[in-house]
Structures are given as C-alpha cells and as structure tokens.
A and B are shown apart, each in its own frame.
Chain A
Amino acid sequence: MQRLSTKLILLLALCFAGMTPATAQQNPPANAELLKKGEYLARAGDCIACHTAREGKTFAGGLPMKTPFGTLYTSNITPDPQTGIGTWTSDQFYRMMHDGRFPDGGLVYPAMPFGSYTKVTREDSDAIYAYLRSVPPVKQVNKPHELTFPFNNRSLIIGWRTLFFNEGEFKPDPTKSAEWNRGAYLVEGLGHCGMCHTAINALGGSSESQAFEGGLIPMQYWYAPSLTSNKEAGLGEWSIQEIVDYLRTGVSARGAVYGPMAEVVYNSLQYLNDEDIRAMAVYLKGLAQGTSPDKPPPALPTAESSLLLSLGKQIYDRDCASCHGATGLGMPPHYPPLAANQSIQMASAVNAIRMVLNGGYPPGTAGNPMPYGMPPFAQRLSDDEVAAVVTYIRTSWGNRGAPVSARQANELRTATLK
C-alpha cells in the first residue's frame, strides 16, 4: 500500500513537472504580472463604472450618461474585434487615453475623461491595454448617442479641446516627495477626480485655474465640493488616517461618502493598496493648505429665521438626535458627526438637503462590508420641515452654514434620482 502511494505521488509529481513548463509558456509570469497591474490600474481609473451598464456584461458599455447636451452611451471596451476594441493596437489605445482620438483620428466626446487620462504614462496605458485584451470579449454593438443639435456635430469637440484640453503626461514635481507625486499622479490622472470636483461651465468644460474648486455636477444634482477649500471638502484639517479611511472604506471619523462619491469608493478606491491610498491622501491634504480664514457666521435676525430654527430643533430632536447626538457629535464612523462637518456647512446646501430627503447608504466595502444607512425623510417631512431641520444643523453647534429655504428643499425633492 505504502509503495503504491509512493508510486502515485511520483507519478503525480511527474505529471505536474511535465505540465509546468507548458502552463508557464501559455501564461508567462511576466504577463500575469502585467495583467494584474493592468487590472489594478483599470480599477484606479474606474473604467468599469461607466463602461458597464446595469445588469450588463462587464466592460461591454451601453450605460446611458445624461449630459446637458443629450444622452451619451458608453462604448464596448471588451476585446471583441467587431463591436469592441479587439483590433486596436497598444498605440491606438494610448492615443485614445492620451489624446482623446479614435484609431481613425475621430474625436472622442470629453465625457471620456481623456483630459485627466492624458497624464497617464505610456507604461501604465499599456498595462491597462493588456488587461482589457484579457477580459472576456462581448459582442455588443455600441448604441448611438442621442445628442441634441448642435451638439451632435462632433467637429464642435475641436473648439472644446482648444479651450479646455491640455495634452501631456504627468510631470513629477522634484521639490515634492515621491509619495506626494504618486498621489498627484493618481488624483489628477487615472482617478480623474477633477471631472466632478472642478466646476463645469456652460460649455461643458472646466478651467485649469479652477482645478478642484468644486461645482454642481450637471444632471445629477449633487454638489462636488471643492478639494482646495477647508470650508468644503478640503482635507487640510483631516489626519492622513481619516482621509485614508474615508477613501478606502467609505466611512471615517469625519464623515461618510455619499452620492456619486459612494460609487467611486465602491468601484474604484476600495481596491487600491495602502501605499497608493496614502499617497492620494498626502496629495489631497496638501491641496487644501493655506485657505482664507472663516467668514463670520451668517446673521439670523428675522423672526422667520428664529421660527425656522425652533421648528428645526424640534424635528432634529425627534428624528435625528438618536443617531447624530443632541449636540451633533454623532457616533463616528457609522453615524457621522454633523457638528464641524464641512459637508453640512459649506456654501452649497444641496448635499445636506438631499441627504435629508433621500437618506443613503455608504458603499459596502471590504473595510466596511455592512454599512449603516441614513433613512430618507422625503415622505415624512414637508418642504418647510426639511428647510427647518437643514437650517438647524447648518447653524448649530458652531456650524457656520447659511439658512436654507423651503423652495430650495422643494426643488431638490423633484431632482431625479436617476
């Protein structure tokens, strides 16, 4: 018996010995490493979020993207030769990422963030290319865009590019640390954070001088706060650990992600490694240094305002205090603090109003797999009550936000939830 098993083991060992070189040939370790790197970088670029439709096949495109100019449908980036990018060379792929052009020279609509991806190195672009060639091909013809006149004319993109597109790979700043430069590369390049956190003007462009200064995201009715102002989402006063927690798990001692940022953490940031998240945190914290001192708190002298506040307090104590605390301290990280929370008191009240109306769950992530949710109150509170409670949290416990009106609450009640 023992001899038999020895023989068996020997036989098995021989089989495996015979197989190993063949397997290695098919999938050389260098290639596996490249694919892994490409997959990781594709996560950092959050390709999946736009290039996968709901319940659709991964990377097969077809997701409708509403813009003020009409609806764009994302494209199939699987390696299918007819309907995907199977015939593209790595040069052509790099040209798309770097210069926003199709292989035939045609111009890409800037909903594809090539304005950010232009900063990606050739080496990283090649890794993403290799990875995308390794995913299962899906035969799915791209849906034609539904753009209104005159935006259906692609040559208009030339004008847009002249105004808003600066081609060029990321150039490290030699006066900063390697960590800071890595963070800058990820935030400005693959992370394409500026796509939301820089105001979009009427022409659908964003100016470099206003980079990361925040703005309302068109069609989504969420305000992407400034990353340069500590009065908004500037992270100058956050510890590196708090920023890391926020980006990676979706919750932190300072606040939780919500709205479109929840998508970014869910599909992209939770997959990044410690060093990269830390590098992004270091860079983001640095972005927000040296902002102007606080404005004095807004005066609330009128009788109307004091009525608003007393109603607001009444609602807060009844519906909010059990989680967020009577003095707005919350129970971090799961019940975010409202006192001294930048997101509550920033100039735009859009996000605070929407959180009260729609509630929300932070994303379920590896670091926070069972998040705690905020209940929606749209069905329970009137416009006046929403305005009152949001005014109360924006102006209490040292918060310095401005009061909001019932009309503002009403406008967001009808904001489409997609």
Chain B
Amino acid sequence: MGVAAVARYVSLIRLCFVFFTLPFLPAVAQTPERAPDTMAARVLACASCHGAQGEGTSDVYFPRLAGKPAGYLYNQLVAFRDGRRKYPPMNYLLEFLPDDYLKKMADYFASLRPPFPEPAIPTVSDAILARGESIVKHGDTQRGIPPCASCHGPSFGGMEPAIPGLLGLRASYISAQLGGWRYGTRTAAAPDCMQIVASLLTEDDVKAVAAYLSSRPAPADPSFAPQGSLPMPLACGSEPR
C-alpha cells in the first residue's frame, strides 16, 4: 500500500469514527448536567417552606410570598439577613447574600400568581369573626386603631412598593406576626407603623383579626394598589409617601 492509500484509508476510518460517534456526542456533553439557569431553580431553597411558586405550604406558620409587592419582600429579605427581623432559619439562610440578589428574589416572587388556598373555615364564634371584620374594615377610633384596609387596601391586596397583601395567609401566621411586633422580634424601618398598630391590639383583637382575614376568599383581582393611592393614616418608614 502506498503512502497516499494509507492516508486515504486513515481518513476513511476517521470519517467512520466521526459518523458513528456524532449521534452519541450530545449525550456525552450532557453527562455533567448543569443546574437550570432560572430563578425558580435558584430559589428552590425557599420551596420546602413557602411552596415552589411561593404559594405557601400546609405549614400554618410559613407565609405565602407570591404576588406580594416586591418592595415589601425585599425589605423582609434584608431585615432577615441583617437580623432586624428575627427568625433563625431565615437569618441563617440569607446571611451572605448581596442586596442585588435579594432584589431579584423579591421581584421573582412578586411576579408569581399561583392560585390562592381555600379560605380557612373559621374555628371561632360568629361574634369574634364580626369583631375581626369590624377592626379590619373600620378600625377602632376610640382606641386609635386604624382600619387595616386604610393601608392594605379595601380588598387587602396591599400597595406598591412595600405594603403586603393580607390574603392567602393563615390565622396562625397573622397572629404570630402581630405578636412579633408587640414583642420586638419583628421590626421595620422607623417609623415602624405596624409596631404602633400591633401594640394597640389586645390578644382578643389579634385573634379576631387573624380569624377574619384568614377566612376571606381569594380576591377577584390579586394585584396590589398603585403607590400613593391609599390614605395611610400613619407614617410608615417602609412606605415613603
């Protein structure tokens, strides 16, 4: 066999090799699979407590995140990271995450609209429920308690950029948060309006408000009010007017 023939023979072998291996190449390239380049994959750490879509889980103490205003979610992430809002599992998870990333997480959950859970069947009396409805809608002028609706909206969807919606949350979570404000484990930027409101409420008020809010059906329009569209009787550090 001459040199040229050998060369031709070799290239033939090469050609076969290329043809036979080509179909397998993509499979080989896939072997070290990469994590999906999505926010959903990045925030999977949140899913075991808050649901894959931020819709909440069966655990009554873990809140729904989806569809809350991004500014509100961002403020909470920063407060947890910096220890101003105290809950060790959250403080620990967020400790070394930069602002930009927390902002992206907040934007992500604010953009999601998973279905609301079935409203809770109240376990309290009608009288307590009525008391809750009265505080939520009208406040208690004698005791200086403003209605929830004055800041959180008449349909409780919240207001941009930083006032959260109050629906889709369970009674245990709502009363734990109001308690957290009263005892100082949850704080927000000064003036901390919710600290003032929560400290005006009695244990029974908290129970009634939590029972009423958690029994509300999903809102027809699950979106928040535009900035500045609600009266806001109290100054609030998180929501500049």
Contact = CB atoms under 8 A, between A and B. Distances in A.
Contacts of B101: 364, 369-371
A370 B48 contact: no
A266 B101 CA distance: 14
Given A323-B44, A329-B32, A379-B48, 8 more contacts: A262-B95, A262-B96, A358-B93, A360-B92, A373-B44, A373-B46, A417-B88, A418-B92
B32 A332 contact: yes
Interface residues of A, number: 35
Contacts of A335: 35
A416 to B, nearest CB: 7
Contacts of B45: 359-361, 372-376
Which among A54, A335, A373, A378 has the greatest number of chain B C-beta atoms within 10 A?
Answer: A373
A104 interface: no
A417 B83 contact: no
B221 interface: no
Interface string A290-316: 000000000000000000000000000
A404 B59 CA distance: 28
Interface of A: 54-55, 262-263, 265-266, 323, 325, 329, 331-332, 334-335, 358-364, 369-380, 416-418
B89 A417 contact: yes
Contact of A370 (B89, B94, B104): B104
A266 B96 contact: yes
B42 interface: yes
Chain B contact surface mostly: helix
Given A331-B35, A334-B35, A379-B48, A373 B88 contact: no
B96 A363 contact: yes
Interface in B1-58: 32-35, 41-49
B contact residues, range: 20 to 34
A407 B100 CA distance: 40
B192 to A, nearest CB: 15
B83 A55 contact: yes
B59 A364 contact: no
18 contacts: A263-B96, A266-B96, A329-B32, A331-B34, A334-B41, A358-B89, A359-B45, A359-B48, A360-B45, A364-B98, A370-B104, A371-B42, A372-B35, A372-B42, A372-B44, A373-B42, A417-B89, A417-B91
A359 to B, nearest CB: 5
Nearest to A258: B96
A375 B89 CA distance: 10
B61 to A, nearest CB: 9
A374 B43 CA distance: 9
Nearest to A374: B45
List the 10 closest pairs (A to B, CB-CB), nearest first: A373-B45, A363-B96, A417-B88, A334-B35, A375-B48, A266-B96, A364-B98, A417-B92, A331-B33, A54-B83
B82 interface: yes
